């Protein structure tokens, strides 16, 4: 059986398919090798697909499941938010997606590529070429200027973007020669975003990017992330415990106790300026 | 157990590597401070014990006319005298193999100057003799054999003895032959048919209670000598310092003591500095914990106690381990090296608690105090502030960037490396000091060996040009060789040195036999000249000549006649080119043949003792380098875990991450090596002049291979430590390091 679909992202493809069948997507024929059961829908393979992901941490005789059968999909070029209370397993999901952590069971694919069996070296190469990270505490190298921090990531990537231009894009063209300590929190986070973007990544993963910032500054950063997603077509994933900011996302994945509670699509995301928390 | 103490014990267990490295580094510091000084003390003590057990003389009196019973009684009643022993001695020629040599004979002693029987038995009749082992060996003699001494009836050998007078190979000077005593022997007193005693040996009351290998003894000894000289002005009075061997034994321990001040100080300082860095780093890491304890209401004293206990415990353990190893191993190794030079009984190795206590107390106190200071510094803030992360050290432009010529030439990674090196100045300087210190110590050790080894080579190839020195009783009818020079050699005591005066028959020919340069006149060798004021025998010195072994004065025959008012009758011949040693020795006018090649080998053998000292230095320097580099590299990694985790997240492979750090280490190491090679040249020069012995001048010579070897070893250690810490780098957990602010 060949199922036909034309809509590739933005809204979930509500098509009933079975494993082992073919799906014609935007005129291309795809083979479905994994079906993710989620929210009562059979869901076709997305750009990012988590299926039954289990991550178990062992310490001493105890084992803790930080992710306990997580399944969801994310669409390419969209802005997604992973929300949930602290300790729910959001960061675990992000770390796995970013190639910083491995999984115990299940499978993770990004752009059709299986991350599960990657070696340490291959995961490193994946981080280098496909992923950009933004952290709550920026994690800039204190001893390098804004420009040099960006160069640090462009240095190791072949088709990197021009660091100067990226810094200009995030609105820091006049702060390139400043050290992190000479920049405000918001500015530091912009440098961090520029550093992630300079690698021209497919995925931009942000772990509580506004966590250390004040309200207004935080909004500015979210706006920047959203604009980046729309203008450059980068797949952006933001982790937050603040569900107030979810209305701006295309898709919201709620996680609780290591499990996906719900996946909600948002056909009309609210502009950041209109959100209040 | 109180929770804080439990916490402390767990901390030690958790940070085993750091705790052990603190122990090791303190151990190395205290070991080097205590070890060398302990060797000095042990060597002096064994001298003191031996001299006292032998009832060794303090004052020795000789007289041209001998001593009567009345003289002996007079001396015995002199104030301060504890015991007097009148006795006989006489130097006589003996035939050993084909050679005629001078032998010093003494009467078997009474209560003073105890000898030790090493085999057989002592002479019981006037026609019996006990000789030294060396004579037995070189003369291929056995107990029961007969020996003939000029002026005596033949003797039968009853045994071998060692004499308290001779603690080195040197047997002293004589008026016979070439001026050198070759062997000693002991006779029954009745063998001497003298009407008077030839020698008086005296022990002073005071010397029985003072340490006999000490400056105190030397000073007292000079006093006794002077007072005897005042009372008995016609006698020839000498003390132990006039017997070169006793004096040089004391001097050698003084030299060792000097090395023992300089070397270990370097070690100790580096050890203390590294422990300080480690402890202040530990307190820094525990900032949050300190905040928690403070918030829980623990007193500052009890919080500080945790870290102080950690520091004091590691310092104390290391310090005491160092004391025991140092005071046991070092004296044995060092005295073993000196056993080539001095014949002394085995040392005892008690712990020198004075110095040991000082070393450990200094280490523990300095580390303890700094720990308390850094903890109290860290505790200044409110608990809430402490529990928040400390703001990271801000980045800065480095001076280097202001020189665009260099800066623009650096690639991106080069710039990052330059900035990082200057950012962590403290650790940068510590690493620099560590590597430089190690390289300098290595170069000194290798250079010491070069210098000592080159003594024989330099002296016997560059200075001595003749192939044999033949001692003669009178000028032969036919010359020995077509290239020969008659000389007169005499010995004299000048400025405490035993000096050979060489008077060639034709001074202008001397240059081709001994490299004395082209100046003719009164020539004095280098080291002797240093202790003279430009004149000798009241004449101005015309030139100072290069020389490494022994001391010489060269003068033309006219000057000799002028000074001593007698003819310089030749008693030796310098020969160049081929000669037949056997034929020469058999010649009726020849007394002895000294072959240059043999002398060269002999000196070479004796300098091998220095090899031991060299090896000790090399091992110590390597251990120091390794521990210091390891500690600093580990601190570097832990301090920058977050930074390293960040670049790993950015996608730096493990090797790239390692190179990010190693590049800095490598630059600092190379700088340290350069500095160390430079400093090592000076350190070697200093050490060389401290360890020189009287008869030798060590040339300050360091082979190119030693520079290469010292640099290569330091580099190897640095690379090795980097490789050893690679796993630690690879194991950095990105998720954990970036989750919270540390």
pLDDT digits (tens, 9 = 90+) for B674-693: 999 999 998 888 877 776 66
pLDDT digits (tens, 9 = 90+) for B697-738: 777 788 899 999 999 999 998 889 888 888 888 888 887 777
* Confidence tier at B188 by pLDDT (50, 70, 90): very high
Among candidate residues A43, A52, A30, the one with its CA nearest the CA of residue A108: A52
* Confidence tier at A39 by pLDDT (50, 70, 90): very low
pLDDT given for residue B742 in this prediction:
40
* Confidence tier at B375 by pLDDT (50, 70, 90): confident
Q: Is B543 exposed, middle or buried (0-12, 13-18, 19+ CB in 10 A)?
A: middle
| Residues in B lying within 8 Å of A, measured between beta carbons | 391-396, 412-413, 415-416, 419-420, 423, 642-643, 645-654, 656, 734-735, 738-739, 741
pLDDT given for residue A4 in this prediction:
47
Q: Identify from A119, A139, A202 which residue to disrupt to test chain B contact, counting B C-beta atoms within 10 A and taking the largest count.
A: A139
Helices (H) then strands (E): counts for chain A: 6, 15
Mean pLDDT value of segment B493-515: 88
Instruction: Please check whether residue A254 is in contact with residue A260, taking contact to mean a CB–CB distance below 8 angstroms.
Output: yes
The pTM (predicted TM-score) of the whole model is 0.71
Q: Is the pLDDT of residue B126 over 80?
A: yes
Alpha carbons B718 and B625: distance in angstroms, whole number? 8
Q: Which residues are B485's β-sheet partners?
A: B574
Q: Is the pLDDT of residue A31 over 80?
A: no
Mean pLDDT of chain A: 81
Alpha carbons A1 and A225: distance in angstroms, whole number? 40
Tokens of A166: 């990226």
* Confidence tier at B437 by pLDDT (50, 70, 90): confident
Q: Minimal Cα–Cα distance from A202 to chain B, Å?
A: 14
Which residue among B392, B649, B654 places its CB closest to the CB of A133? B649
Among candidate residues B120, B125, B122, the one with its CA nearest the CA of residue B143: B120
pLDDT given for residue B431 in this prediction:
83
Average the pLDDT over each of A18-22, B107-111, B312-316, B469-473 and give the range with the smallest value: A18-22
- Length of chain A (residues): 277
Among left, alpha and beta (phi > 0; psi -120 to 50; other), residue B481 is beta
Backbone torsions φ then ψ of B116, nearest 5 degrees: -115, 130
Nearest CA in chain B to A126: B651
Alpha-helix residue ranges (DSSP H) falling in B54-169:
69-76, 133-138
* Confidence tier at A3 by pLDDT (50, 70, 90): very low
Alpha carbons B385 and B292: distance in angstroms, whole number? 10
Mean pLDDT of chain B: 85
pLDDT given for residue A44 in this prediction:
53
B396 contacts in A (CB within 8 Å)?
179
């032959």: which residue's tokens? Answer: B177
pLDDT given for residue A6 in this prediction:
39
Among candidate residues A39, A42, A64, A46, the one with its CA nearest the CA of residue A108: A46
Q: Are residues B416 and A143, on separate chains, in Cβ contact within 8 Å?
A: yes
Q: Is the pLDDT of residue B402 over 60?
A: yes
- Length of chain B (residues): 742
* Confidence tier at B98 by pLDDT (50, 70, 90): confident
Alpha carbons B622 and B267: distance in angstroms, whole number? 12
pLDDT digits (tens, 9 = 90+) for A156-182: 888 888 989 889 888 888 888 888 888
B298 vs B506, residue with greater confidence: B506
Q: Is the pLDDT of residue A117 over 70?
A: yes
Alpha carbons B251 and B249: distance in angstroms, whole number? 5
Alpha carbons B49 and B46: distance in angstroms, whole number? 5
Average the pLDDT over each of A125-129, B282-286, B385-389, B414-418 and give the range with the smallest value: B385-389
CA B230 to mean position of chain CA atoms? 39
Tokens of B732: 């950095």
B651 contacts in A (CB within 8 Å)?
124-129, 131, 153, 156-157, 199
A55, A197, B284, B287, B388 from B294: Cα distances, Å = 37, 43, 15, 11, 13
Q: Which helix (H) or strand (E) holds B93?
A: strand B89-96
Q: Is B583 exposed, middle or buried (0-12, 13-18, 19+ CB in 10 A)?
A: exposed
* Confidence tier at B410 by pLDDT (50, 70, 90): confident
pLDDT digits (tens, 9 = 90+) for A79-107: 999 998 888 888 889 889 999 888 998 99
């360890």: which residue's tokens? Answer: B691
A101 contacts in B (CB within 8 Å)?
735
Note whether A143 contacts B: Cβ–Cβ < 8 A. yes
Percent of chain B with pLDDT over 90: 31
pLDDT given for residue B163 in this prediction:
92
Of chain A, the end-to-end C-alpha distance in Å amounts to: 48
A93 contacts in B (CB within 8 Å)?
none
B642 contacts in A (CB within 8 Å)?
139
pLDDT given for residue A21 in this prediction:
55
* Confidence tier at B355 by pLDDT (50, 70, 90): confident
pLDDT digits (tens, 9 = 90+) for B654-677: 888 888 888 888 898 999 999 999
Q: Is the pLDDT of residue A26 over 70?
A: no
Which residue among A125, A137, A182 places its CB closest to the CB of B741? A137
3-class SS at B695?
A: coil
pLDDT given for residue B391 in this prediction:
64
pLDDT given for residue B597 in this prediction:
85
What is the CB neighbour count within 10 angstroms for residue B644? 24
Mean pLDDT value of segment B579-601: 80
Q: Are residues B394 and A125, on separate chains, in Cβ contact within 8 Å?
A: no
Mean pLDDT value of segment B16-43: 88
Q: Is the pLDDT of residue B1 over 70?
A: no
Reported ipTM: the value is 0.79
pLDDT given for residue B272 in this prediction:
79
Q: Is the pLDDT of residue B538 over 70?
A: yes
């Amino acid at each position: 059986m060949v199922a036909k679909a034309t809509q590739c992202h933005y809204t979930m493809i509500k098509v009933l398919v079975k494993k082992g069948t073919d799906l014609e997507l935007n005129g291309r024929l795809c083979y479905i090798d994994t079906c993710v059961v989620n929210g009562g829908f059979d869901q076709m393979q997305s750009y990012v697909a988590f299926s039954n992901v289990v991550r178990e941490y062992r310490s001493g005789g105890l084992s803790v499941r930080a992710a306990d059968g997580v399944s969801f999909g994310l669409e390419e070029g969209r802005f997604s938010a992973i929300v949930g209370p602290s300790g729910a397993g959001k960061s675990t999901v992000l770390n796995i997606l970013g190639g910083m952590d491995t999984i115990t069971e299940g499978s993770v694919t990004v752009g059709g590529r299986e991350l599960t069996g990657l070696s340490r070296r291959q995961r490193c190469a994946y981080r280098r070429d496909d992923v950009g990270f933004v952290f709550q505490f920026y994690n800039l190298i204190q001893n390098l200027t804004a420009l040099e921090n960006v160069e640090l990531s462009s240095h190791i990537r072949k088709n990197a973007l021009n660091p100067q231009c990226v810094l200009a894009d995030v609105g820091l063209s006049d702060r390139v020669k400043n050290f992190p300590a000479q920049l405000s929190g918001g500015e530091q986070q912009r440098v961090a975003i520029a550093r992630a973007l300079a690698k021209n990544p497919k995925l931009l993963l942000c772990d509580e990017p506004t966590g250390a910032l004040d309200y207004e500054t935080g909004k500015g950063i979210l706006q920047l992330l959203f604009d980046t997603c729309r203008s450059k077509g980068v797949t952006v994933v933001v982790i937050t415990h603040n569900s107030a900011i979810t209305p701006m996302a295309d898709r919201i994945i709620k996680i609780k106790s290591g499990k996906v509670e719900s996946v909600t699509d948002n056909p009309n995301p609210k502009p950041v300026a209109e959100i209040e928390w | 157990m109180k929770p804080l103490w439990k916490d402390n014990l767990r901390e030690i267990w958790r940070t085993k590597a750091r705790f052990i490295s603190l122990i090791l580094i303190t151990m190395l510091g205290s070991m080097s401070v205590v070890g060398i000084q302990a060797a000095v003390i042990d060597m002096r003590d064994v001298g003191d014990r031996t001299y006292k057990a032998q009832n060794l003389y303090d004052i020795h009196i000789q007289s041209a006319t001998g001593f009567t019973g009345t003289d002996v009684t007079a001396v015995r009643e002199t104030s301060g005298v504890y015991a007097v022993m009148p006795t006989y001695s006489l130097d006589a020629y003996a035939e050993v193999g084909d050679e005629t040599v001078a032998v010093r004979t003494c009467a078997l002693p009474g209560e003073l100057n105890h000898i030790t029987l090493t085999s057989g038995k002592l002479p019981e009749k006037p026609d019996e003799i006990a000789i030294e082992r060396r004579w037995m060996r070189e003369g291929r003699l056995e107990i029961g054999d007969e020996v003939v001494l000029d002026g005596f009836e033949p003797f039968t050998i009853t045994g071998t003895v060692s004499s308290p007078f001779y603690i080195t190979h040197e047997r002293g000077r004589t008026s016979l032959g070439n001026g050198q005593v070759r062997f000693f022997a002991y006779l029954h007193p009745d063998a001497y048919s003298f009407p008077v005693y030839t020698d008086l040996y005296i022990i002073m009351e005071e010397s029985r209670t003072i340490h006999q290998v000490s400056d105190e003894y030397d000073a007292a000894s000079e006093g006794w000598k002077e007072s005897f000289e005042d009372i008995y002005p016609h006698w020839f009075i000498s003390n132990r310092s006039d017997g070169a061997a006793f004096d040089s034994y004391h001097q050698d321990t003084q030299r060792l003591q000097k090395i023992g001040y300089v070397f270990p100080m370097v070690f100790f300082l580096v050890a203390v500095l590294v422990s300080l860095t480690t402890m202040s780093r530990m307190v820094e890491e525990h900032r949050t914990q300190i905040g928690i304890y403070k918030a829980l209401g623990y007193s500052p004293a009890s919080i500080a106690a945790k870290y102080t206990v950690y520091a004091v415990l590691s310092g104390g353990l290391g310090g005491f381990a160092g004391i025991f190893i140092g005071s046991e191993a070092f004296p044995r190794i060092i005295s073993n090296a000196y056993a080539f030079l001095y014949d002394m009984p085995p040392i005892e190795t008690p712990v020198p608690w004075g110095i040991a206590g000082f070393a450990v107390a200094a280490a523990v106190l300095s580390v303890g105090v700094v720990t308390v200071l850094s903890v109290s510094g860290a505790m200044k803030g409110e608990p809430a502030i402490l529990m928040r992360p400390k703001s990271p050290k801000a980045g800065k432009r480095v001076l280097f960037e202001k020189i665009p010529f260099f800066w623009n030439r650096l690639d991106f990674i080069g710039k990052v490396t330059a900035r990082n090196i200057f950012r962590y100045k403290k650790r940068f300087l510590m690493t620099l000091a560590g590597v430089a210190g190690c390289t300098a110590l290595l170069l000194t050790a290798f250079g010491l060996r070069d210098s000592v080894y080159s003594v024989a080579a330099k002296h016997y190839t560059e200075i001595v040009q003749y192939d044999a020195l033949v001692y003669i009783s009178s000028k032969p009818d036919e010359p020995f060789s077509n290239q020969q020079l008659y000389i007169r050699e005499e010995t004299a005591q000048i400025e405490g040195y035993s000096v050979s005066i060489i008077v060639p028959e034709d001074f202008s020919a001397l240059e081709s036999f001994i490299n004395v340069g082209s100046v003719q006149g009164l020539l004095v060798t280098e080291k002797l000249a240093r202790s003279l004021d430009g004149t000798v025998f009241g004449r101005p010195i015309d030139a100072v000549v290069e020389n490494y072994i022994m001391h010489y004065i060269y003068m033309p025959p006219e000057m000799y006649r002028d000074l001593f008012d007698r003819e310089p009758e030749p008693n030796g011949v310098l020969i160049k080119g081929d000669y037949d040693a056997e034929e020469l020795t058999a010649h009726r006018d020849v007394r002895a043949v000294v072959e240059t090649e043999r002398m060269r080998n002999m000196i070479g053998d004796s300098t091998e003792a220095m090899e031991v000292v060299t090896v000790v230095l090399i091992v110590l320097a390597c251990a120091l380098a390794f521990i210091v580099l390891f500690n600093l590299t580990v601190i570097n990694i832990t301090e920058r875990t977050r930074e390293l985790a960040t670049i790993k997240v950015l996608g730096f492979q493990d090797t790239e991450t390692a190179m990010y750090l190693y590049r800095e280490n490598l630059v600092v190491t190379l700088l340290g090596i350069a500095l160390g090679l430079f400093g090592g040249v000076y350190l070697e020069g200093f050490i060389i002049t401290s360890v020189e012995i009287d008869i030798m001048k060590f040339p300050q010579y360091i082979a190119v291979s030693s520079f290469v070897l010292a640099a290569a070893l330091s580099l190897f250690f640095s690379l090795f430590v980097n490789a050893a810490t690679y796993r630690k780098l690879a194991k950095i957990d990105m998720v954990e390091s970036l989750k919270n602010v540390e």
